[in-house]
Structure 1
Amino acid sequence: MQPPVTPAAAASSTSSEDDAGASYDPVTSAERAASASVSRRVGEAVRLLDLGRDLQARGEFTAALASFTAVVSEYKDLSLSEYARVGRALVLYEVGDRDDAIAEMEDVSVALRGYPEIHAALAAALYADKHAPLLAENQFAIATLLDPHYTDLAYVRDTKHWPPSLVDSLRHFITLS
Structure 2
Amino acid sequence: MQPPVMPASSAAGVTPLPTPTTTSSSCCFLPPSSPTRRQLLASTVSSGLLLLLTAPRAAAASSSSEDDDVYNTYDPVTAAERAASASMSRRVGEAVRLLDLGRELQARGEFPAALASFTAVVNEYKDLALSEYARVGRALVLYEVGDRDESIAEMEDVSVALRGYPEIHAALAAALYADKHAPLLAENQFAIATLLDPHYTDLAYVRDTKHWPPSLVDSLQHFITLS
Deviation at 1:139, TM superposition (A): 0.5
* Structure 1 stretch displaced more, 165-174 or 13-22: 13-22
- Residue 3 of structure 1 is matched in structure 2 by 3
Question: Alpha carbons of 1:165 and 1:12: their partners in 2 closer, same or farther (altered >3 Å)?
Answer: same
Deviation at 1:11, TM superposition (A): 2.8
Deviation at 1:3, TM superposition (A): 88
Deviation at 1:14, TM superposition (A): 1.6
Deviation at 1:85, TM superposition (A): 0.4
Question: Alpha carbons of 1:11 and 1:166: their partners in 2 closer, same or farther (altered >3 Å)?
Answer: same
Output one character per residue of 1:45-94: Cα deviation in whole Å (capped at 9) or x when no partner: 11100000010000000000000000000001111111000000000001
Gaps of 5+ in 1: none
Bigger-Rg structure (1/2): 2
Deviation at 1:97, TM superposition (A): 1.6
Cα distance in 2 for residues equivalent to 1:64 and 1:172: 25
Deviation at 1:96, TM superposition (A): 3.9
Output one character per residue of 1:137-173: Cα deviation in whole Å (capped at 9) or x when no partner: 1110010011111001111111111111101110110
Within a 5 Å distance, the mapping from 1:79-98 to structure 2 comes to 79-98=129-148
Q: Does 1:43 align with 2:70?
A: no
Gaps of 5+ in 2: 5-57
Output one character per residue of 1:106-135: Cα deviation in whole Å (capped at 9) or x when no partner: 111111111110000000001111111111
Cα distance in 1 for residues equivalent to 2:2 and 2:181: 89
- May I ask how many residue pairs the two structures share in their alignment? 174
Normalised TM-score (structure 1) = 0.93
Question: Alpha carbons of 1:125 and 1:2: their partners in 2 closer, same or farther (altered >3 Å)?
Answer: farther
Question: Alpha carbons of 1:109 and 1:10: their partners in 2 closer, same or farther (altered >3 Å)?
Answer: same
Question: Alpha carbons of 1:154 and 1:79: their partners in 2 closer, same or farther (altered >3 Å)?
Answer: same
Question: Alpha carbons of 1:3 and 1:147: their partners in 2 closer, same or farther (altered >3 Å)?
Answer: farther
Q: Say which structure, 1 or 2, has more relative contact order (CA 8 Å, 6+ apart).
A: 1
Deviation at 1:2, TM superposition (A): 92
Normalised TM-score (structure 2) = 0.73
Deviation at 1:10, TM superposition (A): 3.4
Judging by fraction of residues, say which structure has more helix: 1
Cα distance in 2 for residues equivalent to 1:34 and 1:142: 40
Instruction: State the SS of the aligned residue for 1:55.
Output: helix
Deviation at 1:21, TM superposition (A): 0.5
Deviation at 1:16, TM superposition (A): 1.8
Cα distance in 2 for residues equivalent to 1:64 and 1:157: 16
- After TM superposition, the runs of 4+ consecutive aligned structure 1 residues lying more than 3 A away are 1-4
Question: Alpha carbons of 1:154 and 1:2: their partners in 2 closer, same or farther (altered >3 Å)?
Answer: farther
Cα distance in 1 for residues equivalent to 2:86 and 2:165: 30
Output one character per residue of 1:22-44: Cα deviation in whole Å (capped at 9) or x when no partner: 11111111111111111111111
Question: Alpha carbons of 1:2 and 1:60: their partners in 2 closer, same or farther (altered >3 Å)?
Answer: farther
CA RMSD after TM alignment: 13.1
Deviation at 1:15, TM superposition (A): 1.6
Cα distance in 1 for residues equivalent to 2:157 and 2:168: 10
Cα distance in 2 for residues equivalent to 1:162 and 1:32: 41
